[in-house]
Structure 1
Amino acid sequence: MSSEELIYAMALRSCPMIGDSTFRKMLAIAGSAKEAWELSGKELSKIRKIRKSVTESLGNPVYLEKAIQEIEFCEKNNIKIIYALQEKLPGLLSECEDAPVFLFQKGNFDREKNNISIVGTRNITSYGRKFVHGFLEAAKEKSIQTISGLALGVDTCVHEESLHFQIPTVAVIAHGFHLEIYPAKNRKLAEKILENQGAIFSEYSSQQSFIKENFIQRNRIVAGISPSTCIVETAFRGGAISTATFANNYNREVYALPGDINHKYSQGCNLLIAQNKASAIVDIAKLITDLGFQQTKEKQLDLFEDFKDYSKLDKDQKSVIEVIIKTPGIQLEELSEEIGIASYRLLPILLTLELETYIKTNSSKQYFPI
């Protein structure tokens, strides 16, 4: 773990005024963390909006020593250091422009599972609890992995219900692993997550102090890992709104549970739906279908098993829908390569199949069977 490049990278990232964006700009110019550490003031001036304080901290051995101490802390406490320039971040997080350079991991993250982020208010109601329970019960056989923030309320419900249905669950916390798990009420829950093949992530090192702004930053990771985010209950200005905003900015699917217009913790969800920033969750079975979880291996074996009449389809249409059934969520270029039909020829075929309700597409231009 303690390679020279990792030490220099951690030292560089711990310098004052060097955030994730500046770090990446510096490495783009220097080529490596070690070379970035040795950049001259003239070379640094090539980086747009670089601060003078950055040049003052570079080369200071104090930060190299801090990096070594951090690596030793992680090794001692069974914490994996994921360095984004050497290893892919979990889920779809690497696709996010503002993804962290470093992510610290405890436990197991299954990269083969279908990730779904579920968040909401700390003031969950029986309505929200019933939805979380019902959704996870229905989706438990779909090889899913839930992502949430270990906060009280909806997050806690998501983690607990996941454990109940033996679904791996992942918590993203807003502080380093040197601190006791926050909130204190969920310390036992955090232990259970790790005991049951789940994971806990943090972007904060053991040398960083906790500030309340960390919660918002944490939410971008929750949204960034998964292709879809569900907002269960939230007020107009609830923290879950920021998670939905991040997910929308990442061009991910967002779903919200509608509720009573007079209920405070349904108003945020209703607003997201009204502003077309989230799709309304109207039925658990439909949600699972929309998420692309509906196809089991057994179902895929018999491509034309359901009531759809495929006899009227021509050869190309049948080829297209066969691949979409086998690979739900496939995108245009992948479909073109798989079938051997040019993209411009596929588009009218796909449109016809969609209009005749054989398939559907989402905002990410992925195609699913109906």
Structure 2
Amino acid sequence: MAEGGQPMNSARDQQAALLALTIHKPRGRSARELVNEVVWSGDAIGLWNELRGVDLFGVSDELRAARQEVDGWISAGYQFVSILDAGYPGHLRGVYDAPPFLFYRGDLSRATDGVSIVGSRDASPQACQRAARIAELLAQRGLPVISGLARGIDSAAHEATIDARGVPVGVIATGIAAPYTPAASRPLHERVAKTGVLVSQFMPTAPAQKHTFLMRNATMSGLGLATIVVEAGEHSGARAQARMAMEHGRPVLLTDSVIANTQWGRELADGRRSNVYPVAGLQDVSNALDRIVWMTSDDVLAQVIPAG
């Protein structure tokens, strides 16, 4: 029960219950398991009561603290949605490792139907130019460009997207209110937030840690229709995102450079996977996008999954 004896059932109460579940992990459930159960049931409060029991004396201390945290986000002016909210991106909600909350600056609705461009931080000038040309192609086709705002491929892709008046979707590995690292990236963060959307799945002031970059890559994959790997090493975040994209059922486009220079790229592009596209130039990218966009169109999905 909420204050005054009223049932807890508002959107804020649901968000608070979702937060409490992921913090306290009742009965030893993992946060991922709990989020998936909440998505399935559509009721975070009901799952909390099922796992923790209804408090007959009012709202539990854990729920009260979670509600105060959510109210604090609102008071601080943070824009956010939970996985239960209508504004949460639909593509992302459908993957098994979708984050429970997204904090953002800009217009989150513009993150729909984007494509990730990923690659090395220490990319060659040729690879950065290639990333920029691919980003321009996506912008011309009206497809948002998703990237992680790191130096190298990410920055090249987003700068080209903005210059082409496309929609940049920057997914960061820190909290939305955490200091940007390195400081040189701050102007690009601001431009992305102004012209598209800057997104974080972490608590607002959380710093970057090793595992947050991999979690960020999973979110980038889930947000979009596909992932394009421009240049990468044998062990990299780009490789991890390609793997995650395959797990999410998302197509992966690999440049000839990735295929020639990495063992994992050659293995993915061995011809046994119908959703892996080797691309040697912009025309190959365009052809692959034609098929990917067609396969995800409402008309095709309606044929594959009839209504009713």
TM range (shorter): 0.7 to 0.9
2:300 maps to 1:331: yes
Q: Which residue of 1 aligns with 2:234?
A: 236
Deviation at 1:184, TM superposition (A): 2.9
Amino acid at match of 1:282: A
Match of 1:221 among 213, 216, 219: 219
Which runs of 5 or more residues in structure 2 are unaligned? 1-9
How far apart, in 2, do the equivalents of 1:273 and 1:132 lie? Answer: 20
Q: Could you say if the C-alpha distance between residues 261 and 294 of structure 1 is closer, same or farther in structure 2, counting changes exceeding 3 Å?
A: closer
Please give the per-residue CA displacement for 1:166-186, whole angstroms capped at 9, x wherever unaligned. 111011111212311234321
Please give the per-residue CA displacement for 1:53-105, whole angstroms capped at 9, x wherever unaligned. xxxxxx7515532442343234423x322111232532511221221122222
Report 1:116-195 matches (<5 A): 116-195=115-194
Q: Could you say if the C-alpha distance between residues 139 and 6 of structure 1 is closer, same or farther in structure 2, counting changes exceeding 3 Å?
A: closer
Q: Could you say if the C-alpha distance between residues 333 and 92 of structure 1 is closer, same or farther in structure 2, counting changes exceeding 3 Å?
A: same
Report 1:89-100 matches (<5 A): 89-90=88-89, 92-100=91-99
The TM-score normalised by the length of structure 1 is: 0.67
Q: Secondary structure at the match of 1:4?
A: helix
2:289 maps to 1:291: yes
Q: Which residue of 2 aligns with 1:252?
A: 250
Q: Which residue of 2 aligns with 1:38?
A: 49
Which runs of 5 or more residues in structure 1 are unaligned? 45-58, 296-323, 339-370
How far apart, in 2, do the equivalents of 1:218 and 1:72 lie? Answer: 24
Q: Which residue of 2 aligns with 1:345?
A: none
Match of 2:19 among 10, 34, 54: 10
RMSD over aligned CA atoms reads 3.5
2:82 maps to 1:71: no
Please give the per-residue CA displacement for 1:29-64, whole angstroms capped at 9, x wherever unaligned. 9873334333466x79xxxxxxxxxxxxxx751553
**What is the aligned length?**
290
Q: Secondary structure at the match of 1:216?
A: helix
Q: Which residue of 1 aligns with 2:4?
A: none
Q: Could you say if the C-alpha distance between residues 28 and 224 of structure 1 is closer, same or farther in structure 2, counting changes exceeding 3 Å?
A: closer
Q: Secondary structure at the match of 2:127?
A: helix
Match of 2:199 among 193, 198, 201: 201
Larger helix proportion of the pair: 2
Q: Could you say if the C-alpha distance between residues 191 and 207 of structure 1 is closer, same or farther in structure 2, counting changes exceeding 3 Å?
A: closer
Amino acid at match of 2:269: I
Please give the per-residue CA displacement for 1:147-189, whole angstroms capped at 9, x wherever unaligned. 0111121111111111111111011111212311234321111
Q: Secondary structure at the match of 2:257?
A: coil
Larger RCO of the pair (alpha carbons < 8 Å, separation 6+): 2
Amino acid at match of 2:139: K
Deviation at 1:214, TM superposition (A): 1.0
Q: Secondary structure at the match of 1:193?
A: helix
Q: Which residue of 2 aligns with 1:101?
A: 100
The answer to whether the 8 A contact 1:146-1:168 is kept is yes
Q: Could you say if the C-alpha distance between residues 330 and 290 of structure 1 is closer, same or farther in structure 2, counting changes exceeding 3 Å?
A: farther
Amino acid at match of 1:231: V
How far apart, in 1, do the equivalents of 2:298 and 2:85 lie? Answer: 28
How far apart, in 2, do the equivalents of 1:27 and 1:147 lie? Answer: 27
Identity %: 22
Q: Which residue of 2 aligns with 1:280?
A: 278
Deviation at 1:143, TM superposition (A): 0.9
Deviation at 1:2, TM superposition (A): 6.5
Please give the per-residue CA displacement for 1:192-226, whole angstroms capped at 9, x wherever unaligned. 11122x11111111365643111111111111111
Q: Could you say if the C-alpha distance between residues 162 and 75 of structure 1 is closer, same or farther in structure 2, counting changes exceeding 3 Å?
A: farther
The answer to whether the 8 A contact 2:115-2:144 is kept is yes
Amino acid at match of 2:85: Q
Q: Could you say if the C-alpha distance between residues 70 and 19 of structure 1 is closer, same or farther in structure 2, counting changes exceeding 3 Å?
A: farther
Q: Secondary structure at the match of 1:81?
A: strand
Q: Could you say if the C-alpha distance between residues 40 and 191 of structure 1 is closer, same or farther in structure 2, counting changes exceeding 3 Å?
A: closer
Q: Could you say if the C-alpha distance between residues 204 and 36 of structure 1 is closer, same or farther in structure 2, counting changes exceeding 3 Å?
A: same
The answer to whether the 8 A contact 2:128-2:152 is kept is no
Q: Could you say if the C-alpha distance between residues 108 and 328 of structure 1 is closer, same or farther in structure 2, counting changes exceeding 3 Å?
A: closer
Q: Secondary structure at the match of 2:256?
A: coil
Q: Which residue of 1 aligns with 2:3?
A: none
Q: Which residue of 1 aligns with 2:61?
A: 61
Please give the per-residue CA displacement for 1:303-341, whole angstroms capped at 9, x wherever unaligned. xxxxxxxxxxxxxxxxxxxxx8xx968437527979xxx
